[in-house]
Structure 1
Amino acid sequence: MSKNSKANHLINSSSPYLLQHAYNPVEWYPWGEEALKKAKAEDKPILVSIGYSSCHWCHVMERESFENDSIAALMNKHFINIKVDREERPDVDQIYMDAVQAMGQNGGWPLNVFLTPDQKPFYGGTYFPPQGWAQLLQNVAQAFATKRKEIDASADQLTDALSTSELIKYNLTSNENGFSKEQVDSLYQKLLKRFDKKRGGFDRAPKFPMPGNWQLLLEYYHYTNDKAALDQLILTLDEIAKGGIYDQASGGFARYSVDADWLVPHFEKMLYDNGQLLSLYSNAYKLTKKPLYKKVVEQTVEWLQREMAEGNGGFYSALDADSEGVEGKFYVWTKAEFDDVVGKNSGLLSKYYNVTDTGNWEHGNNILHMTASDEQFAQKEGVTIEALNQIVNEGNELLLAARSKRVRPGLDDKVLSGWNGMSIKGLCDAYDAFGDDTFLELAVSNGQFIKNSMIEDGKLFRSFKNDKASIDGYLEDYAFVIDAFVALYQSTFDEVWIQEAKILMEYINTNFYDSDENFYHFTDNQSEKLIARKKEVFDNVIPSSNSQMARNLYVLGIILDNDTYKSRAHSMASAVAKLCVEEPAYTYNWCSLNSMFAYQTAEIVIVGNEAEKFREDIASRYLPNKVLLGSKQESELPLLKGKSLKNGQTTIFVCYNKTCKLPVTDVESALKQLK
């Protein structure tokens, strides 16, 4: 095993993931013209290896295979080797992930795909152990040399399949029929069958937090008062918050738990998970007022500030699962270590966090987690909640201080615009729920960072590192940044954010929109042309870029009184309506939008000197199907024009589809008018 003293072609990359491989003996290239031209000139197959900096099995395969001189020699002899950071190039990742799945393989990372010299895939897989990888390299090289015609024919066929639009593949066509309340009930019943009634989440392992699915439950309860939906949501959020998947000492959520009990995390922390979970726990708090959810939000924002802040307003992308080559080493404790750190309160805190002599994980280590609520634990141990909170907070501070002396996990220090958009939305939702000015200040600072450092002439860039924005933004970046800017407007009534959102929307409509299918491409018209140009439809761990765009069109359409935007949103959502009922777990954001149509969206307009105070009061309630607008003085926004004060007092107008109820001068009266 070795790391070269001489760097390969990745050495000038901005991506932390590519730089991790810059001294492998493999002659890696970044994805780009140099490598692709070389493959054609030498008529060699291309090996594309895709991963990301906090991917545990990517590191394992690097240690076992890509630092192995004999394996590297095989790769260099037979292939043009290209490394891709999936977080920088989701367009490349999307195409070749689809290809591997079309071959009948499970997808995942590292993703290793073999291509013809013209970038067409013919074989691939995920992680391979070193012996199997070496054998595969030889087999593929031999097949390419002796069965070229068959390989080219197979690659052509697969590429044709990859180029087929998702809308054609799934027969998604707009229809004029609106989404009904009965369909909202049907999709909930479909979700209900998949729930784990004991531990929350879906009934499977490993367990991934799926914020969009749980948000759908919250909304369904709001519309129907179905207690079973609320109970399932509370069970899920409680179990996640008490589990090892949540960093009990520091705040922040890991990517997923490998077990069904949310205990053993895959320790990497991703910004996109945490942004969405901030929104979810904040919204759940508005409804339940559970102290646990407040604690989770406050701790997680502190973690963002402490460990993920870039310094000028942006947030970094991810923290690695590994430190010193060992997964989770930074986060776990032996009983002796734990007792030594927390001192006099170790007896109580060991029970609280379930720390034992034998350990609750491997090698005698303990993953901190809770098995009871604070109220239950305090009662059992005969202490007050106040005393328990003080002991836990002091213990956490000691644990964090001790942990700060350990070797830290790797930090992916690029700033991604779309993921930061999700963080802004999470912080705005947290501000609305708790009224903490720190949350709003962080959100505004993050928005200003994107506005000033990642947008140029109406065009958004995806990545920022080393004081430079790079890589054309993808649809998901625009979608989540527009959502963030709209959230900033509704949390501040500062109209600059609506103007910024409108500029980005106009750019997308010019450069991403496909008028034939009425959906958006994932990539800009101006960007590099790949073997397929995809449209992302299905929601996954994050909402699909098209579902988020449809929501943006609808909400911005209301705020700007733009019927074209609203009509396009309806058309897009109606095309996916059938799938919503059949597969709500993978269309949850579409389901949420269709539910908004079924139950009608409230336009709440506040005018007058106390507009901000009234806004805070209304925003602190859980009212998911609303758009908030307001101003102390004159405004050019269409829904604010002609709205005058009643008897000189700050006035609230509750409207549906531009038809308003009688103006009122207090929040409680406005709430009674909401359907």
Structure 2
Amino acid sequence: MRNMQEKANRLIHEKSPYLLQHAYNPVNWYPWGNEAFETAKKEDKPVFLSIGYSTCHWCHVMERESFEDAEVAERLNRDFVCIKVDREERPDVDAVYMEVCQALTGSGGWPLTIFMTPEQEPFFAGTYFPKNSRFGSIGLMDLLGSVAQQWRDRREKIVRSGKEITEAIRGGAEKKTGQPSKQFIHDAEKQLSDHFDSRNGGFGRSPKFPTPQNLFFLLRFAMLENEERALEMVEKTLRQMYRGGIFDHIGYGFSRYSTDAEWLVPHFEKMLYDNALLTMAYLEAYQITRTGFYKMVAVKVMDYVLREMTDIGGGFYCAQDADSEGEEGKYYVFTPGEILSLLGKEDGEAFNRTFHITEDGNFEGKSIPNLIGQEDDQIMEERIGRLLPRVYQYRKERTELRVDDKILTSWNALMIAALAKAYRILGDSQYLDAAEKAMRFLTDHLMNENGGLRVRWRDGEAAGVGGLDDYAFSVWALLNLYDATFDVHYLELAAALNQEMINRFYDKENGGFFLSDKEAEPLIRRPKETYDGAIPSGNSVAASCMLKLFALTGDTKLRETAEEQLAFLAAAAQGYPAGYCFALLAMMSALYPSKEIVCVVKDKAEMEPLKALFRKKFLFNTAVLVKNAENAERLEKVAEFTKAYAPDKEKSAYFVCENNVCAPPVYTLEELEKLL
């Protein structure tokens, strides 16, 4: 409980868990908004902007060192107007000023620290600063003193610098286009291969991020080019990530990244987006290889999300913290004695041996459970699995783990897509139930009557003007739901939301999609993001969705916009195609053979056998429509070309077109399977 004498600042009225964490700081924080900037103008002060998120370890460190410190707070409150931003609620603000930081310093990350004028023009950028200078690095106290003095004595130079930086990041608005080609595809595969860690899996050295879109790309490349090396890179990475400490072997789910090359020591926060995208990667690896290991991992990750990250209303929370009781990783690590006391000598020793829990430890004197070196994961599960629930329950009671219970539209859409894919591949209805319940949550609580999306839901309130990722990822989720169910409602909603996305974000003059809605609050720059980083960019996902929707609906305007979008992405990807792997998936849809299948079924009894057939196949670049007497009228409205396919009460018919050439219809699932 807070001491009743502690005084809250303005953040106490916010819903963001990250902002609320700072509500009792002695710093006089403002949320981002007009009040803060008007105050800065009135009081003639520069703005101190701090951006982070609730599960960020170094954000916690900077708060404890500086923002909870009376001396720092006194200087901040005296000389600056201080703004705190949750990057997950305001990805547009974060994107603009992260670009500034990367341009000025060559790197970025969180916490993000920006000094700017009251006109939002930045003149200094950095990330984490300790309170006091040390080892040649400036501390926050010295930095604040220096900036305040320069604001007083060299104002004109600072303002000029802010304007120059602002103009530089705005850049030119000229149209940049490229030509999508298979050369991009082959160059990216070679670049990934050159950086592949053949011993540990993954790409490059530490720190290592999962970057699931790289794995999606390599899986498609392996199938389309019959390239075993690409599949080997994926399989090695998926196996080593699971065996390392980046996977939580007690409660399941993946942490955000590994601080070492072996995937052993994670940055312990767990993010919904990683677990959604990695679920899809493991599911696709299972679908291609039929190796049960990949199914097992995907099921574990989904078990974790449904158990620990799911709201009663069906939405999904966004993250779990890296820190517990002020210590990074405390929730996740063990000593051998703890396990022996809990399980007894025989079971405890077996458990410690299996998960490498030792007296020396592997993280600050304690041990992160891992299976590095373990070859037969299934045998391990049979021997140790019965002990895991006891250790899991002990861990929950031993240390509290903070959850960021925001429900973010974009990240929820990724999880919905993963669960829909799981149902389509595995046939387990619990995953479809969860996906559909979550999608109802989004449409009920995060979509307004005009079809627009909001950014987040928390504590009974939706907030934020939806950005490109909210729309693009939601269309992706709806398309996955359609693939899983063939329910025309999801196709209708995907087409409508996709058109909203084009209307709100597409740059008709210069190509590409802006990150922020045209009706959103104007910032110093309206950014476009193309790089596929920790998650795919909205521009990449939008391209993929438009191509899929064109294949499903036959809307030629969509094809034209999609082709313009591919040209825009090709220009962006020219320097380093491997950084645009999800964009390359969209290019593959245009460059490699495609199939369109219209299934005209006589009654509902045909649906389950049809789903079972598609469940057996990995059908990249294949669009499947299902028409019956019940949905015919609605399907013809969203996919007008299907008017030519009339349902027959006596028999079903299956029409397969490949590379713009249509084969004669077939009338049994056995014949359809041969055509696949």
Q: TM-score, normalised by structure 1?
A: 0.94
Partner of 2:239: 238
1:337–1:549: structure 2 CA closer, same or farther, 3 Å change rule?
same
* The one of 501, 511, 515 aligned to 1:518: 511
Aligned with 2:443: secondary structure?
helix
CA shift for structure 1 position 616 = 3.0
Give the deviation of 1:546 after TM superposition: 1.1
Q: CA deviation at 1:660?
A: 2.0
Of 503-512 and 436-445, deviating more is 503-512
Write out aligned runs for 1:432-511 (5 A).
Answer: 432-456=424-448, 457-511=450-504
Shift of 1:172: 2.7
Aligned to 1:81, what secondary structure does the other structure show?
strand
TM-fit CA distance, 1:672? 4.1
Distance 1:666 1:230 in 2: 33
Contact 1:482 1:552 in 2 (8 A): yes
Match of 2:65 in 1: 64
Give the structure 1 partner of residue 162 of structure 2.
155
User: Aligned residue for 1:403?
Assistant: 395
1:578-630: CA deviation from partner (whole Å, max 9, x where unpaired): 55464123211111111121113211222213133212321342222212221
User: Quick check: 2:121–2:162 contact (8 Å CA) kept in 1?
Assistant: yes
In the TM superposition, what are the counterparts of 1:454-603 in structure 2 within 5 Å?
454-456=446-448, 457-577=450-570, 579-580=572-573, 582-603=575-596
Q: How much has 1:360 moved relative to structure 2? A: 2.4
Deviations along 1:446-501, one digit per CA (max 9) or x if unpaired, are 11111111101201111001112111100111110111011111111111112222
- Is the CA contact 2:540–2:583 (under 8 Å) kept in the aligned structure 1? yes
Distance 1:121 1:668 in 2: 64
Deviation at 1:551, TM superposition (A): 1.2
User: 2:140 aligned with 1:133, yes or no?
Assistant: yes
1:350 is aligned, of 349, 352, 357, to 352
Q: How far, CA to CA, are the matches of 1:577 and 1:535 in structure 2?
A: 14
Within 5 Å, give how 1:224-373 maps onto structure 2.
Answer: 224-343=225-344, 344-363=346-365, 365-373=366-374
Q: Which amino acid in structure 1 is aligned with residue 350 of structure 2? A: L
Answer yes or no: is the 8 Å Cα contact 2:426–2:615 preserved in 1.
Answer: no
Q: How many angstroms apart in 2 are the aligned matches of 1:75 and 1:621? A: 60
Q: Which amino acid aligns with 1:413?
A: D
Residue 624 of structure 2: SS of its match in structure 1?
Answer: strand
Residue of structure 2 equivalent to 1:106: 107
Instruction: Return the offset for 1:273.
Output: 0.6
Preserved CA contact (<8 Å) 2:178 2:571:
no
Q: Does 1:205 align with 2:201?
A: no
CA distance in 2, matches of 1:513, 1:579: 16
Percent identity between matched residues is 39
Between stretches 606-615 and 8-17, larger displacement belongs to: 606-615
Quote how far apart the aligned CAs of 1:182 are.
4.6
- Distance in 2 between the 1:89 and 1:417 partners? 12
- Counterpart CA distance in 2 for 1:596 and 1:574 is 14
Q: Whole-Å Cα distance in 2 between the matches of residues 49 and 519 of structure 1?
A: 29
Contact 1:606 1:630 in 2 (8 A): yes
Higher mean alpha-carbon deviation, 416-425 vs 293-302, is at 293-302
Q: Measured at CA, do residues 352 and 455 of structure 1 come closer, stay the same or move farther in structure 2, by a change above 3 Å?
A: same
Determine if contact 1:580/1:588 at 8 Å carries over to the other structure. Answer: no
Cα 1:137/1:522, change in 2 over 3 Å: same
Q: CA RMSD in A?
A: 1.9
| Amino acid of the structure 1 residue aligned with 2:41 | K
- Per the alignment, residue 136 of structure 2 pairs with none
Cα distance in structure 2, aligned partners of 1:646 and 1:446: 35
When structure 1 is superposed on structure 2, of 290-299 and 415-424 the one drifting more is 290-299
Deviation of the 1:144 alpha carbon: 0.9
Q: Mean Cα displacement is larger for which, 503-512 or 566-575?
A: 503-512
- 2: CA distance, partners of 1:130 / 1:182: 50
CA change 1:587–1:183 in 2 (3 A) is closer
Opposite residue 643 of structure 1, the aligned amino acid is Y
Distance 2:583 2:209 in 1: 20
- Tell me how far apart the structure 1 counterparts of residues 640 and 287 of structure 2 sit (CA, whole Å): 30
Report the equivalent of 2:88: 87
Normalised by the length of structure 2, the TM-score is 0.94
- Aligned partners of 2:59 and 2:184: how far apart in 1? 42
The CA distance in 1 between the partners of 2:59 and 2:143, in whole Å, is: 18
Is the CA contact (8 Å cut-off) linking 1:654 and 1:673 kept in structure 2?
yes
Question: Which consecutive residues of structure 2, in runs of 5 or more, have no partner in the other structure?
Answer: 133-138
In the alignment, structure 1 segments of 5+ residues that lack a partner are: 379-384
Alpha carbons 1:432, 1:620 under 8 Å: kept: no
1:173 counterpart (177, 184, 187): 177
Question: Which secondary structure state, in structure 2, belongs to the residue aligned with residue 233 of structure 1?
Answer: helix
- Quote the residue 2:135 is aligned against: none
Do 1:187 and 1:582's aligned partners in 2 also have CA atoms closer than 8 Å? Answer: no
Contact 2:600 2:645 in 1 (8 A): yes
SS at match of 1:362: coil
CA 1:579 to 1:189, structure 2 compared with 1: closer, same or farther past 3 Å? Answer: farther
Aligned to 1:119: 120
1:433–1:581 distance in 2 versus 1, CA, 3 Å: farther
- 1:381 — aligned with what? none
In structure 2, relative to structure 1, the CA distance for the partners of 1:641 and 1:250 (3 Å cut) is farther
Q: State the alpha-carbon separation in 2 of the partners of residues 374 and 174 from structure 1.
A: 45
- Alpha-carbon distance in 2 for matches of 1:239, 1:666: 43
1:559/1:639 contact within 8 Å kept: no
> Structure 1, residues 375-399: CA drift from partner, whole Å, max 9, x if none?
3x78xxxxxx4xx533322121111
76 and 185 in structure 1: CA distance in 2 versus 1, 3 angstrom threshold: same
Larger deviation, residues 275-284 vs 492-501: 492-501
Matched to 2:640, the amino acid is P
Tell me: CA distance 1:26–1:183, structure 2 relative to 1, closer, same or farther (3 Å). Answer: closer
Match runs of 1:21-40 below 5 Å: 21-40=22-41
